Amino acid sequence: MMTQENEKVRKQMQIVCIDDLVPQDHLLRVIEKAIDWTFIYDLVRDRYSEETGRPSIDPVTLIKIPLIQYLYGIKSMRQTIKEIEVNMAYRWFLGLELYDPVPHFSTFGKNYTRRFKDTDLFEQIFRHILEECYRFKLVDPTEVFVDATHVKARANNKKMQKRIAQHEALFFEETLRKEIDADRESHSKKPFKKKDDDNKTGSGSSDNFKDYTTDAPKDDKTMKCSTTDPESGWFRKGEHKNVFAYGIQTACDKNGWILDFTVNPGNEHDSRTFKKLYDKLQNTAMEYCVVDAGYRTPAIAKMLLDDGVKPVFPYKRPMTKQGFFPKYEYVYDEYNDCYICPNNQVLSYRTTNREGYREYKSCGQICASCPYLEQCTHSKDHVKLVTRHVWEDYMETCEDIRYTEGMKELYSHRKETIERIFGTAKENHGFRYTQMYGKARMTMKVALTFACMNLKKLAKIKNEWGLQMA
Separation of alpha carbons 11 and 14, rounded Å = 10
Three-state DSSP at 249 gives: strand
Beta bridge partners of 264: 247
pLDDT at residue 465 in the model: 86
> Rounded CA gap, 10 and 238, in Å?
55
Q: In the predicted model, is pLDDT for residue 370 greater than 60?
A: yes
Q: What is the pLDDT of residue 469?
A: 62
- What's the rounded mean pLDDT across residues 63-78? 95
Question: With bands split at pLDDT 50, 70 and 90, how would you rate the model's confidence at 205?
Answer: very low
Distance, in Å, from the CA atom of 43 to the CA atom of 120, rounded to the nearest integer, reads 10
Query: By CB neighbour count within 10 A (0-12 exposed, 13-18 middle, 19+ buried), where does 62 fall?
Result: buried
pLDDT at 122: 95
pLDDT higher than threshold 60 for residue 214: no
pLDDT at 217 over 70: no
Q: How confident is the model at residue 201 (pLDDT cuts 50, 70, 90)?
A: very low
Bridge partner residues of 265 (DSSP): 246
Q: Is residue 181 predicted with pLDDT exceeding 60?
A: yes
Q: Quick check: 15 pLDDT over 60? A: yes
Q: What is the mean pLDDT of the chain?
A: 89
Q: What is the DSSP string of 65-96?
A: HHHHHHHHT-S-HHHHHHHHHH-HHHHHHHT-
Average pLDDT (187-195) is 86
Q: At 1, is the pLDDT very low, low, confident or very high (cuts 50, 70, 90)?
A: low
- Interatomic CA distance for residues 365 and 123, integer angstroms: 64
On whether the CB atoms of residues 124 and 220 are closer than 8 A, the answer is no
pLDDT at 207: 44
Q: What is the enclosing helix (H) or strand (E) of 36?
A: none
- Give strand pairing partners of 358: 352, 388
Single-letter amino acid code for the residue at 204: G
Instruction: Supply the pLDDT for residue 8.
Output: 79
Please write the tens of the pLDDT for every residue from 413-432.
999 999 999 999 999 999 99
CA distance 67 to 108: 11
What's the one-letter identity of residue 24? Q
Query: What confidence tier does 196 reach under pLDDT thresholds 50, 70, 90?
Result: low
Contact 247, 234 (CB under 8 A): no
User: What pLDDT is recorded for position 54?
Assistant: 80
DSSP annotation of 55 reads P
pLDDT at 215 over 50: no
- End-to-end Cα separation, the chain, in angstroms: 53
Continuous segment of H or E residues that includes residue 13: none
The whole-number pLDDT of residue 220 equals 61
Contact 288, 146 (CB under 8 A): no
Residue 5 has a pLDDT of: 73
Q: Write down the pLDDT at residue 293.
A: 93
Residue 202: what pLDDT? 42
Helix/strand/coil for 57: coil
pLDDT band at residue 222, thresholds of 50, 70 and 90? confident
- The dihedral built from the CA positions of residue 148, 154, 158 and 163, taken in this order, carries a sign that is negative
CA atoms within 13 A on the CB side of 252: 23
Q: Which amino acid is at 265?
A: P
**Is residue 267 scored above 70 in pLDDT?**
yes
Residue 167's pLDDT is 67
Task: Determine how β-strand 288-290 pairs with β-strand 143-152.
Answer: parallel
Residues 273-295 pLDDT 10s = 999 999 999 888 999 999 999 99
Cβ-contact 144, 251 below 8 angstroms:
yes
| pLDDT number for residue 212 | 44
Mark 272-298 as b/e (b = at least 16 C-beta within 10 Å): ebbeebbeebeebebebbbbbeebbbb
pLDDT value of residue 195: 67
* Section 382-398 average pLDDT: 95
pLDDT the model gives residue 164: 72
Q: How many CA atoms lie within 13 A of 221 on its CB side?
A: 11
Under 8 Å between Cβ of 452 and 430 = no
pTM value is 0.88
Per residue in 84-109, pLDDT (tens digit) is 999 999 999 999 998 889 999 999 99
What pLDDT is recorded for position 194?
77
Cα–Cα distance measured from residue 251 to residue 417, given in angstroms and rounded to the nearest whole number? 10
DSSP letter at 424? Answer: H
pLDDT above 90 as % of the chain: 71
Tens digit of each residue's pLDDT (9 = 90 or more) over 116-148: 988 999 999 999 999 999 999 999 999 999 999
Among 464, 458, 466, residue whose Cα is nearest residue 36: 458
Q: What's the whole-number mean pLDDT along residues 359-388?
A: 93
Whether residue 359 contacts residue 353, with contact meaning beta carbons closer than 8 Å, is answered with yes
Q: Which residues sit opposite 164 in a β-bridge?
A: 222
Residues 290, 406 contacting (CB under 8 angstroms): no
Using only C-alpha atoms, what is the Rg of the chain?
28
Which whole number is the average pLDDT over 255-260?
96
DSSP characters over 81-137 = HHHHHH-HHHHHHHT--TTPPPPPTTHHHHHIIIIITT--HHHHHHHHHHHHHHHTT
Q: What is the largest CA-CA distance in the chain?
A: 104
Q: Is the pLDDT of residue 171 over 90?
A: no
Q: What is the pLDDT of residues 306-338, one digit of tens each?
A: 999 999 999 988 888 889 999 999 999 999 999
Cβ atoms of 288 and 144 within 8 Å: the answer is: yes
How far, in whole angstroms, is CA 37 from its chain's centroid?
28
